[in-house]
Amino acid sequence: MIPTVVQVYAQQNNLIIQFDNGKIVRWDASALRQAGGVFAKLQDDRVFVEELTVLNGTVAWSPDFDPDHCIDLDPVRLYTEGEEVTHLLSQ
């Protein structure tokens, strides 16, 4: 089963991501923001925060919320590599 992202928000260089099964993770986006290439625009704090959304069931950045023209991330990677913080945020 591929996990589906239902909500995301930025917290400095971290993403706080909630999945459809209730799991919440904190995913460090520092390396992503420094990667360059297609991710270079995420170095701009405004873009990183204001264009962040959920598209295609995963974390994405899009100026017009178009699922065909966005930067999106692998939800499996986010789910498995993120630090689970469900217990911290669901109290």
Please name the residue that has the structure tokens 């991501």. Answer: 17
Q: Give all strands of the β-sheet with 58-61 in edge-to-edge order.
A: 52-55, 58-61, 71-72
pTM, whole model, 2 decimals? Answer: 0.91
* Rounded Cα gap, residues 69 and 61, in angstroms: 9
Q: Give all strands of the β-sheet with 24-28 in edge-to-edge order.
A: 5-11, 14-19, 24-28, 83-84
The confidence score (pLDDT) of residue 67 equals: 84
The confidence score (pLDDT) of residue 69 equals: 87
pLDDT at residue 1 greater than cutoff 60:
yes
pLDDT for 52-86, tens place per residue?
999 999 999 999 988 888 999 999 999 999 999 98
Band of residue 89 on the pLDDT scale cut at 50, 70, 90: low
For 25, other C-beta atoms within 10 Å of its C-beta total 22
pLDDT for 8-31, tens place per residue?
999 999 999 999 999 999 999 999
